[in-house]
Chains A and B, each alone.
Chain A
Amino acid sequence: MNIKINHIAKMEGHAGFMMSVLHGDVQSAKIEVQEGIRLIEGILIGRHFKDVPVIAQRICGICPVVHNLTAIKAVENAFGIIETQETEALRKLLEWAQFIHSHALHLFFLSLADFLDIENDLQLVSEYPKQAKQAIQLREFGMLIVRTVGGRVVHPLTNEAGGFKKVPTVEELQEMIQMGEKALPVALELGAFFRGVRVPDFTRATEYVCLEKNGEYAIYDGDLVSNKGLRIPVSKFEANFHELHRPKEMIKRVESDLKTSYNIGAIARVNIQRDKLNTEAEKYLGTFGFQFPDYNPFHNIYYQMVEVIQAIEDSLKILKNLGHLDLQNALSQPFEVKEGIGVAAVEAPRGTLFYHLDIDARGYVKNANIITPTAQSLSNMEDDVKAYLPRVLELPPHEREKKLRALIRAYDPCISCAVH
């Protein structure tokens, strides 16, 4: 028997899912990409390094900030540029804002309806108007930061190799702090609502991978670690995680050195870094009473909520600290263009995003490799679908499809990123 989901809506990009079952045994579970290729890595070749973030961030309309950050970091690493602490602070602020913006969208508008048996978000908004407003208010805080610091929400403008073209004013910092202080209680209240949303009880052990760094919940830098004992610098990413291209597939999958699928994103980060959460985020996580490691992929939405709280707390810390620093030091500084290889990774909302750029002496790209989060988590998602399917196999087809879509969407996949 073949089970086909034609098109999974409410996620970034287009894909369906195909499963085959023989005498009750799941033979295969595979995503079917319905997105065309854009060949971003190919078109970066021969372009000047200044164009790299401009082009590469357009891989994704939902997480352009993290593509912008990683591309610029890779360029700076190729040239040996060391960012100032002010530049680093503004970049981390942008990244946390991206987390808030992206997670709050997924949590509320893309995934929540699955667990309330609603198929249309406009109906969701009408049944939960208060929570809808809260989700919108949180997103607006994230958007305010990206607009103020980055110059625009979708496809930011100010960040470049060497620093920022423009920096926020003292008044703008104040405005962001004020909005952040209002956002925190809103997030806690929305969090309490999500705490009451029931998701299926399903677990399958896997390997979790994310960045880790001493003393902070790492999203912007650190080493790559896993709950299976991996610990490598970002420069060894491609030596440990292997891109595989299979015929007729538009997504190059990634497998770990253990030749198995692995998972990333909020669920991986909270599993690995939970002891570094801020006060409120840690307190909120505690209300669930989960045992770790937690292998329930549906819990990803809870952990995204944990990270929204974490992001607001960290944004406020950074914003308040910026008041003591001289933001003029974040303005772009001149640097020497030279031949070099730059690799970089940051934690995107959906997991580790990796860039490798090979730049020539004139500053033009010779080679580019971009490994996105969804390309890495896709095989893990398929393995989860395979393990989960027997539990919903006997349901009427429409119900079964709803359950499967809920699992797939809990991953918050970004097909545009995965294909790019």
Chain B
Amino acid sequence: MHATTIHLKPQGNSANQGHPDSTEPSVQAPVSERKPKVAIVSLTSCEGCQFVLLDLGEKFLNLVNQIEMVDFRLLEDLEDPGEALDLAIVEGNPVTSENMKTLLSLRERAKLLAVLGNCAAMGGIPEIKNYHEGPNTIKRVYKYIQGIENPEVREVDNFVKVDFTFPGCPVTGEEVLKYLPELIAGRIPEIPDKPVCVECLRKGNKCLFLEKKPCFGPMILGGCDAVCPTARMMCQGCRGLRKTGNTKAMRATLKTMMTDQEFEDTTEIYGLRDDIEAREQPGN
């Protein structure tokens, strides 16, 4: 077992607690003195969501200071000792049987399990293959396909219970800073069911619809600071459908801006297509 300590800031939770000027994420001091045990693990993925965490720089290191990091292979060589966890954070898809073993074991060990990003939550880019050539896609890439694991890509919640989802491709750093302390303290936060448009309007962006450009903003869960429409890029739905997102109304609005083929292609990029189809099933 190994405890991780950094000293960028004074040690101990109390030093950062309740300070009026403190912009640090606040973590409720646990009942005991024991720091919550956390593991951040990536399955098959680009690891971009973990880099979003690292890119938070000192803000992330300060948060790490308040936990015991049991496994975070991006920053440490020491083996995961396999102990019980308060929180497991999982990025990516279980593509290999080794990935699957890791995922199942994390669920078994952890009180709470959160998924980090679009791949784990919605299938992500790798799920595109499910919509087209499926397992045969491998023949486009490799000469010898024997012995290479090539399963259908499925979201993490098909295999284990997921307590919380950090949505997005990649996740939004500020959102991680907001909700991670809650999870560390053992509470499951809830992301407000607001569309991307709320933040987009607040930023004073000119709505893409006004230029007859397509955007999925109205049916997609906000919280990303509308980063894509702010860059004049349509929202392609990486954070997933809002609970109350109306996909049929969205299709109707977009009819004049994109073809059905373009709509469908775009919903495939972040694994949204299967969620839209499920919602549009009769009875839903």
A158 touches B233 (CB 8 A): yes
Chain B residues, CB < 8 A from A126: 5-8
Does B13 sit within 8 A of A, measured CB to CB?
A: no
Contact mask B2-29 → A, CB, 8 Å, 1/0? 1011111000000000000000000000
Question: What separation, in Å, do the CA atoms of A171 and B172 have in the docked complex?
Answer: 25
User: Can you name the residue of chain B whose Cβ is closest to the Cβ of A8?
Assistant: B77
Q: List residues of A (395-420) whose CB comes within 8 Å of B's CBs.
A: 405, 416
Assess whether B227 is in contact with A10, with CB atoms less than 8 Å apart: no
Residue numbers in A under 8 Å from B5 (CB-CB)? 122-123, 126
Q: Quick one: closest B residue to A125, CB to CB?
A: B6
A152 engages B129 (CB within 8 Å): no
State whether A42 touches B133 (Cβ < 8 A).
yes
Partner of B73, one of A9, A35, A36, A166: A9
Q: If A43-B128, A120-B2 touch, does A109 touch B75 (CB 8 Å cutoff)?
A: yes
List the A side residues contacting B128 at CB < 8 Å: 43, 47, 55
Q: Indicate if the CB atoms of A119 and B99 lie closer than 8 Å.
A: no
Complex contacts, A58 vs chain B, CB 8 Å? 46, 48, 124-125, 169
Our pick among A13, A151, A153, A405 for the contact of B230 (Cβ within 8 Å) is A151
Within 8 A of A (CB), among B72-115: 73-79, 93-96, 98-99
In the bound complex, CA of A14 to CA of B149 (Å): 15
In the bound complex, residues from chain B placing their C-beta under 8 Å from that of A140 are 57
Contact A38 B126 (CB under 8 A): yes
Q: Taking A36-B95, A38-B125 as contacts, is the C-beta distance between A245 and B143 under 8 angstroms? A: yes
Contact between B76 and A416, CB atoms less than 8 A apart:
no
Give bound CA distance, A126 to B99, whole Å.
32
Decide: A125 and B8 in contact? CB cutoff 8 A: yes
Complex: A42 Cα to B153 Cα, angstroms: 14
Given A36-B99, A155-B170, is A125 in contact with B77 using a C-beta cutoff of 8 Å? Answer: no
Contact with A along B125-143 (1 / 0, CB 8 A): 1101100110001111111
| Contact segment of A60-68, A307-315, A335-343, A351-359 | A60-68
In-complex Cβ contact of A129 among B7, B47, B170 (8 A): B7
In angstroms, Cα B93 to Cα A14, docked, is 13
In the bound assembly, the distance between CA atoms of A32 and B57 in angstroms comes to 31
A21 within 8 A of B: no
Q: How far is the CB of A331 from chain B (nearest CB, A)?
A: 10
Report Cα–Cα, A133/B139, bound state, in Å: 47
- Decide yes or no: A37 and B150 within 8 Å by CB, A42-B129, A136-B57, A154-B170 being known contacts: yes
Kindly state whether residue A165 has any CB partner on chain B within 8 Å: yes
A105 to B55, CA, bound (A): 9
Partner of B144, one of A12, A37, A246: A246
Shortest CB–CB separation between residue A187 and chain B, in angstroms?
Answer: 16
Please give, as numbers and ranges, the residues of chain B lying within 8 Å of A61 by CB-CB distance.
45-51, 170
Which residues of chain B are within 8 angstroms of A154 by Cβ–Cβ distance?
Answer: 48-49, 51-52, 55, 170
Query: Which residues between 140 and 171 of chain B lie within 8 Å of chain A, taking CB atoms?
Result: 140-144, 146-150, 169-170
Docked-complex contact A153 and B55, CB < 8 angstroms: yes
Shortest CB-to-CB span from A10 to chain B, Å, is 6
When distances are taken between beta carbons in the complex, the residues of chain A under 8 Å from B230 are 151
Tell me if A43 and B132 are in contact (CB < 8 A): yes
Q: B269 interface residue, CB < 8 Å from A? A: yes
Chain B 49-68 near chain A by CB (<8 Å), digits 1 or 0: 11110110110010010000
Closest to B143 in A: A245
* Contact for B233 among A37, A41, A121, A165, CB less than 8 A: A165
- B residues near A12, Cβ cutoff 8 Å: 47
| A62, B149: Cβ atoms closer than 8 Å | no
Q: Write out, one digit per residue, whether chain A residues 156-186 have a CB within 8 A of any chain B CB (1) or not (0).
A: 0110000001100000000000000000000
Number of contacting residues on B, CB 8 A? 70
Tell me the bound Cα distance from A113 to B76 in angstroms: 9
The interface bits of chain A over 216-256 (1 if a CB of B lies within 8 angstroms of the residue's CB, else 0) are: 00000000000000000000000000000111101010000
* Residue A22 interfacial (CB < 8 Å): no
User: What are the residues of chain B within 8 A of A155 when measuring CB–CB?
Assistant: 48, 169-170
Chain B residues whose C-beta falls within 8 Å of the C-beta of A109 in the assembled complex:
54, 75
Q: A10-B77, A43-B129 are in contact. Are A139 and B55 (CB under 8 A)?
A: yes
Using known A-B contacts A46-B132, A59-B46, A416-B47, determine if residue A39 contacts B126 with beta carbons closer than 8 Å.
Answer: yes
Q: Does B231 contact A (CB under 8 A)?
A: yes
**Residues of A contacting B126 with CB < 8 Å?**
38-39, 43
Chain A: CB-nearest residue to B93: A36
Q: Which residues of A contact B77 (CB under 8 A)?
A: 9-10, 113, 119-120, 405
State whether A36 touches B96 (Cβ < 8 A): yes
Does B228 have its Cβ within 8 Å of any Cβ on chain A?
A: yes
Q: Is the CB of B144 within 8 A of A158?
A: no
- Return chain B residues, CB-CB under 8 Å to A59: 46
Residue contact B233 to A247, C-beta cutoff 8 Å: no
Q: Is there contact, CB below 8 Å, between A416 and B46?
A: yes
Contact B231 A165 (CB under 8 A): yes
Give the residue name and chain of the A residue nearest to B230 (CB).
A151
| Interface assignment of B253: CB less than 8 Å from any CB of chain A | no
Give complex CA distance A61, B54 in Å: 11
Residue A7 at the chain B interface, CB threshold 8 Å = yes
Determine if B241 is an interface residue (Cβ-Cβ < 8 Å): no
- Interface hub of A39, A133, A153 (most chain B Cβ within 10 A): A39
A232-289 with Cβ < 8 A to chain B: 245-248, 250, 252
What are 19 A-B pairs at a CB distance below 8 A? A9-B75, A10-B77, A35-B96, A36-B96, A42-B138, A55-B125, A58-B125, A60-B48, A109-B75, A120-B77, A139-B57, A153-B55, A154-B48, A154-B52, A155-B48, A157-B227, A166-B231, A247-B146, A250-B148
* 16 further contact pairs, Cβ within 8 A, besides A64-B46, A153-B55: A36-B43, A43-B129, A45-B140, A64-B48, A109-B54, A119-B78, A120-B76, A122-B5, A122-B76, A123-B4, A129-B7, A133-B58, A136-B57, A153-B52, A154-B51, A250-B148
**Which A residues are closer than 8 A to B by beta carbons?**
6-7, 9-10, 12-14, 34-43, 45-48, 51, 54-55, 58-62, 64, 105, 109, 113, 119-123, 125-126, 129, 132-133, 136, 139-140, 143, 150-155, 157-158, 165-166, 245-248, 250, 252, 405, 416
- Chain B contacts to A: CB under 8 angstroms: 2, 4-8, 42-52, 54-55, 57-58, 61, 64, 69, 73-79, 93-96, 98-99, 124-126, 128-129, 132-133, 137-144, 146-150, 169-170, 227-228, 230-233, 236, 262, 265-266, 269
